[in-house]
Amino acid sequence: MISHHHYLLPILSSLALTIPVVAQAQPPAGRLLAAQCAQCHGTDGKAVGDMENLAGNNAQELFNEMLEMKYSTNMGDIMHRQAKGYDESQLSLIAQYYASLRSGTANRGTNNGAAGTGNNDD
Amino acid sequence: MNTISRRHFLKLMGATTALAATPPILKAQAVPPRVVVVGGGFAGATVAKYLHRWGGAGVSITLVEINPTHVSCILSNLVLNGSLGLSTITFGYNTLQQNGINVIQDQAVGIDNGNRKLQLPGGKILNYDLIVLAPGIDFDPIPGLDFNKIPHAWKAGPQTTLLQQQLAAMPAGGTFVQTIPPKPYRCPPGPYERVCVVANYLKRNKPRSKVIVLDANPIDPNFPQNPYSAIVAEQATFTKAFSRTYANIVEYHPGVVLQQVDSQNKIAMTDHGNFKANVLNVIPPQRAGGIVESAGLTHGGRWALVDPLSYESTLPGQSGIHIIGDAQGTGQPKSGHIANAEAKVCADAILRLFAGEKPDPNPMTNSACFSPITAKTASWLTAVFAYDPNTLDPTTGKMGVMKVVPESSGEAPSATRENYQRMFTWANNLFADTFA
C-alpha cells in the first residue's frame, strides 16, 4: 500500500488542477469524527437555530470546553454525556477539524421547512 | 469468477470495483464509480449527501425512493395532538438534486448482485458498482389487522394523519389502546413517548378517557415486583410519567403479546385476553425492509448482517452491498439520529474503498433524542458508540462490534420546559444535516 501511494502522489496533484473535488485517499484527520457532531451542531458545524456553531472556533477553546464536559460530574447534561464518549485524542481531532473550517451560516435548503417550535399554547 | 476468487482479485487491486487492472484512484476519476442508494429516509439521504460532499465528482450517486418526499417519524407524535402539521416534518430531495444527485422516484424490487444490477418495476435496471440499502422497516403480519382501520403510524405520513383524526373523533371517557412490539424496533423510546403525548391530549380534550398500554416486552426478571422494568428506554422518565403524571389515565400492562386484531370492532386479542378500544393503535413487530430480506441479506434473521466498519454485508456473495439505518443489525438503536451517524461512517468507508484504502478502523456513532412528555416538557436520551475490534459479533460470527461507551449513556434527570425547546433545535439541525 505504501509504495502504491508514492506512485500515485504526482499523478494526484496534477489531476487536482483539472478536477475540482475528487475522492480523497486520505480524508482530513478528524473529519469523520467531527461529522458525528453535525446531527445537532449542523453540517460542517454551521447550526440552525439556538445551537452553538462549531465552525471556525479556536481549537484550544473548543478542546478545553469538551474536556471540561468530559470530566464533569454533571451527568444531567446531554453534552456532558456525549463528551464522555470520546477519548482526549479524539476530542482534540474534533476541535482541530472544526477550527480549520470557516464559520458561516447553515444551508437550510429550499424545501426543508424546519418544524419550528410547535403550537403548545396549553 | 466466483465470489471468493473475485474478493481476492479485488483485494489485490485494492478496489471494490473490478473495472480494470489500473490504479483504482485513476479509474475512479476517469469513470466515477456508480453508487445507488435505495431509500431516502435519514440513513439514505445522509449517505447520498455526504458521498457528494466528501466524494465530489469522484463518485456518481443515484437515490431511489418510492415517495416524492420523506415524512419524518421524529416529532411525528406532535402531529397527533395538533402541535405540528405534517407539512412541517415533510422533506423533499431538491437540495440533493441541486447537488447533482440523481433522484429516481421508483420502487426497488430486486437485486442481481452478481451482475451489479438493481431491478426496478417493468423490467427497468439500474447498474451499480456499489449499492447502499436504507429501506427502513417492515412489519410482521398480524391476523385480522387492517391498517386502513387500525393505524400503526410508525411510518409517518397518511398513517399519522389517520391516527390523529381518530383521536380527534374519540368520545370523552373513551379508551385508547396501544400495543408495543418486542425490541428491537424503530425508536426505542417512541412508543412510550406516544403514550405520554396521547395521554396528555386526552387529559386536556377528552375527560375521563383511558390509555391502555399492551407492551410485549417482559418484566425484567431481576425486578419481578416492578412492572415498569419492562420499559425499553428511559425507564425512570416513563415510570414517573405513567405512575404519577398520568396515574389516572395510563394503565400499563407489561409482557402482553398481541396475537390477533378485530379491526372492525377495534379489539386487540392478546395472550392475556381481549382489549376493546375506541381508538386502537397497533405498532407491530418489526424487521428489515423487504428488499433486504428478499436479497438474502438477513440470513434468516430479522436484520441485515453487516460489518460495522463499512456497513457492508458480511455474507458470501454479497460484497458491494452496504446496509444502513433501521434495517442493519449491528445492535445500535434504530432511529433517525443514529441512522444519520451510520450513514457518515458508511460514506467515508465507501470513498476509502474506492481509493483502495481500508475503512477507518475506529468509527464512532452517537444516538441522541428528545421526547415530549407533556405539551410543554420533554426528556432526552443519549449514548455514544465506539468500535471494539476484540468482541465477537454473534450475529455475523466475526470480530468487531459497536459498543456503548458506558458513561456516555443516559437519560434526562427530569422532563423540563427547556428540553422541550431544545427538542426542536435538535430536530431542526438533524433535518438540515440530512435533507438540506
pLDDT in tens, B152-175: 999 999 999 999 999 999 999 999
Query: Residue B172 phi/psi, 5° resolution?
Result: -60, 145
**What is the rounded average pLDDT of the residues B176-191?**
98
How do B312-313 and B258-262 pair as beta strands?
unpaired
How large is the average pLDDT for residues B26-49? 88
Q: Give the per-residue pLDDT at B344.
A: 98
pLDDT tens-digit readout, B92-109: 999 999 999 999 999 999
> CA-to-CA distance for B423 and B119, rounded, in angstroms?
40
**One pLDDT digit (tens) per residue for chain A, 122 residues:** 333 444 343 343 333 333 334 445 578 899 999 999 999 999 999 999 999 999 999 999 999 999 999 999 999 999 999 999 999 999 999 999 999 998 877 765 433 445 555 444 33
**B334 contacts: CB under 8 Å, gap ≥ 6:** B137, B184, B185, B186, B187, B188, B325, B326
The answer to whether residue B207 scores a pLDDT higher than 60 is yes
**pLDDT at position B419, please?**
98
Residue B277: all three cell numbers together: 378500544
Average pLDDT score over residue span B6-25: 38
Instruction: State yes or no: pLDDT of B416 exceeds 60.
Output: yes
Of residues B197 and A8, more confidently modeled: B197
Q: Is residue B10 predicted with pLDDT exceeding 80?
A: no
User: Given a cut of 70, is residue B149 above it in pLDDT?
Assistant: yes
**In the predicted structure, residue B22 carries a pLDDT above the cut 60:** no
Interchain CB contacts (distance < 8 Å): A and B: 208
Please compute the mean of the pLDDT values over residues B396-407 and round it to a whole number. Answer: 96
pLDDT above 70 covers a percentage of chain B that reads 93
DSSP readout, B350-407? Answer: HHHHHTT-PPPSS-EEEEEEEEESSSS-EEEEEEEEEEEEEEEETTTTEEEEEEE-GG
The pLDDT, as a whole number, for residue A117 is: 54
Distance in angstroms between the alpha carbons of the first and the last residue of chain A: 63
| Residue B294 C-alpha, separation from nearest chain A C-alpha, in angstroms | 32
| A122 near B CB under 8 A | yes
ipTM of the complex: 0.91
pLDDT at B2: 38
First-last CA distance in chain B: 41
Q: In this model, does residue B435 exceed pLDDT 50?
A: yes
Most B-contacting residue of A39, A79, A107 (CB-CB within 10 A), to test interface: A39
Express each pLDDT in B329-354 by its tens digit. 999 999 999 999 999 999 999 999 99
- Chain B residues with CB-CB distance to A76 below 8 A: 412-413
- As a whole number, mean pLDDT of residues B22-47 equals 80
**Rg for chain B (alpha carbons), in Å?**
22
Mean pLDDT of chain B: 94
What's the average model confidence in pLDDT over B116-145? Answer: 98
Least confident of B23-32, B163-172, B416-425: B23-32
- Give how far the C-alpha of residue B115 lies from the chain's centroid of Cα atoms, to the nearest Å: 29
**B interface test, pick of A81, A93, A101, A117 with most B CB neighbours within 10 Å:** A81
Q: What pTM, to 2 d.p., does this model score?
A: 0.89
Q: Do B405 and A36 touch (CB under 8 A)?
A: no
For chain B, say whether A80 makes contact (Cβ under 8 Å): no
